Structure formats: C-alpha cells, structure tokens
Amino acid sequence: MAHEHLIQYTCQQVGTFFPGMDPTVLQGIIAHHWDATMARLQACIDKVKMWPQGQFNHLNSSQYCQYLYFLSNTIWREDRGGEALGVATRLFLLNKALNGIDLFYEIAMPDVFFIGHSVGIVLAKATYGNYLVLYQNCTVGKNHGVAPVLGDGVIMYPNSAIIGRCRIGANTAVSQGTGVINRDTPGECMVFAGTAGELTIKAAKRPLIDDFFRH
C-alpha cells in the first residue's frame, strides 16, 4: 500500500472509532511524522526472522500493532503539543481497540521487539531491553510503584508476568503461565513456576532468542 493510502487508511480508522478531530489536522500530524515512524518500524521488522525484509503488511495484525505504537510514540516524542497529543492518544486507543493491547505511547519500547499475538498484553512504564518477545496475555507491571528492568533478549511466553522489583537478566525466557514477582533472574536461562510460589530456573541449552531475530 502506498504511503499516502496508508495514512488515509489510518486516519479513517481513527475517525471512525474516535471522531471529533479535524480530519485535515489529523492527517497533517500523521504525515509530518511519517518518515520517522516508518524508519523505526522498518528497522524493527527487518530484524524479525519470520517477516520478509523491506516490507510492511498492514494486514498482518502484529505488524500493524507495532506500527500504531511506533506512530503514536514518535508523535509524542517529537511533538507534545495539544493537537499532537490528541492524535497520539487516539492512536493508542485505536491499538487497544483493534489489537487488545495496552501499550501507552509514553512507554519506551526497544528499537527491536516482536509481538507474537497482541491480545491481552499489558505493559507498564518499565525498562525494556532490545530483542524483546511478547505473546498473548503477558504482563509487565509495577508493584508499589516499582517497575521491572528487562535485559536484552527476554522472551515472555503466553500468560506470563514480570511484576515489581525485578531485574531480568539478558536472554531470560519466562515460560507459559509463570509469574516473576519481585525476583531477579541471572540471564541465559528459562524460568518456570515452582511450588509454593517459588521459581525454578534452569540454564538455557541454547540462545532461544536466535529463533526470532536476525543479528
């Protein structure tokens, strides 16, 4: 899809779900931040092994989810005026409505990340390392106002959570249904739910993150 058509497509979605903004203003703000957004998005897509390099498919829901994040975040980073903030807010809400993800535009996601399935993902204002993998119903959250710190190459499988005062070492994979709460991990490991709320941590036999990304 040509960029002018994709801009119009995005504007039509925003206007349908969240009317009330002048369409000319909406389109102008998105167009102004278009090149910076697409440069960030394409750099991310090109690192994901399962996605063809040099392409963006607006009908791939994971790619479109990440597109809406990069667009809203780029607008917020570069232009925090009243009308621009209104556009960023609408794009955040559109992403939530279309893809079931709670990913606020102020959150600093890494340059390269991959969303397997977006539904049910909730992300707090935490520290996210590069080469992050997220699957459905995973949560990164604060506990008593303290947010986790995730190293590079963290994988969160479905229904996993990282909450509170956690330092998650590089190349940690959190298994399905496992919650890491106020705990650290050493990295280069897989984390499983143990008994009585404890965790079982096993050394990774190989870097699982290599299954997802080009380096």
Q: CA 74, CA 37: separation in Å to the nearest integer? A: 6
What is the separation of C-alpha 8 from the centre of its chain, rounded to a whole number of angstroms? Answer: 23
- Cβ atoms of residues 90 and 14 within 8 Å: yes
Give per-residue pLDDT as tens, 149-205.
999 999 999 999 999 999 999 999 999 999 999 999 999 999 999 887 789 999 999
Q: CA 189, CA 171: separation in Å to the nearest integer? A: 7
Task: Please say if the pLDDT value at position 1 is more than 70.
Answer: no
Q: What is the pTM of this model?
A: 0.96
